[in-house]
Amino acid sequence: MEEQGAENGVADMAACYQGFDPGAYLQNNYSPAIADFERKDGLEPWKLACLHRAFTEGDVRGELLVDVGSGPSLYQVMSGCEVFNKVLLTDFLEVNRQELRSWLQDEGGCSMDWTPFLQHVCKLEGRPSSAWTEKAARLRQVIVDIVHIDVHSPQPLALDVLPSAGADCLVSAYCLESASPDLAAFTRALGHIGRLLRPGGHLLLIGTLGMTYYMAGPGVKIPTVPVNAAQVCASLKESGYTLIRLEVYRVPQDMMLCSDDSPGTFFVKAIKE
């Protein structure tokens, strides 16, 4: 009975995602008006600084970085692409994988100009912002594939996608709480993706705090599971991770988006036991 309820919840989420519009999502969250790099207290500078720090502390290393639930977005691998020689992008939806492919092919037709993000990460690395073209080239060089993933499946990726040892590091932004009907499903999904990671590998997890919905296109309202920091810590522990740190960003009142009701974001660095 309980299992049936859980399956229905996950199926309802998958149905909601059929309306996901990559262009609208990018516009709502990452267009220049929203991702204003002049505002030092903005979410994007905060997120990129967390990722930069996590990837440059020296403990995160290896060959393969997997981004879980990339969506149509690339900012989350802009620091990691300098550390890893192979980066695998993944998403549940073909429309998002297609959007990422069009950026990779660089022949126009891409809905998003990632230049300000690339420039900002170059500056974090102590390089001039003009080095963004080199970073874009590096990113295009290390992305090995863009594949389907389902975090609600005990085996989220097709069998032959990863080497048997697993990935050296996972990054995942705004995927688990946005794809899960409730906290139990969120925790299970953390466990599922952990199977992709080698023991001793790192998880860098970004997510919203207390968000109940976001808009993923005109009239496409996606319900999400509102989580708090204590719940995230408990879910990590239950799913076999050891927390290294959790940081919290609170959205300034004048920067609240009209496309969601999220008051904050968390960033987690954890290690798989």
Q: Can residue 207 be called a binding residue for ligand SAH (CB under 6 A)?
A: no
Selected range binding ligand SAH among 134-142, 144-152, 161-169, 231-239, rule: CB under 6 A: 144-152
Selected range binding ligand SAH among 38-46, 112-120, 138-146, 167-175, rule: CB under 6 A: 167-175
Judged by CB under 6 A, the residue of 76, 187, 235, 239 near ligand SAH is 76
Min separation Cβ 50 and ligand SAH, Å: 13
Nearer to ligand SAH by Cβ, of 122 and 211: the residue is 211
Q: Can residue 208 be called a binding residue for ligand SAH (CB under 6 A)?
A: no
Judged by CB under 6 A, the residue of 66, 173, 196, 227 near ligand SAH is 173
Nearer to ligand SAH by Cβ, of 71 and 194: the residue is 71
Selected range binding ligand SAH among 56-64, 66-74, 111-119, 254-262, rule: CB under 6 A: 66-74
Binding-site size for ligand SAH (CB under 6 A) equals 20
Judged by CB under 6 A, the residue of 28, 79, 178, 265 near ligand SAH is 178
Nearer to ligand SAH by Cβ, of 50 and 173: the residue is 173
CB-based contacts of 222: which residues, under 8 Å, 6+ apart? 13, 16, 17, 20, 178, 213, 214, 215, 216
Q: Can residue 89 be called a binding residue for ligand SAH (CB under 6 A)?
A: no
Residue ranges binding ligand SAH (CB under 6 A): 17, 20, 69-71, 73, 76, 91-93, 96, 149-152, 173-175, 178-179
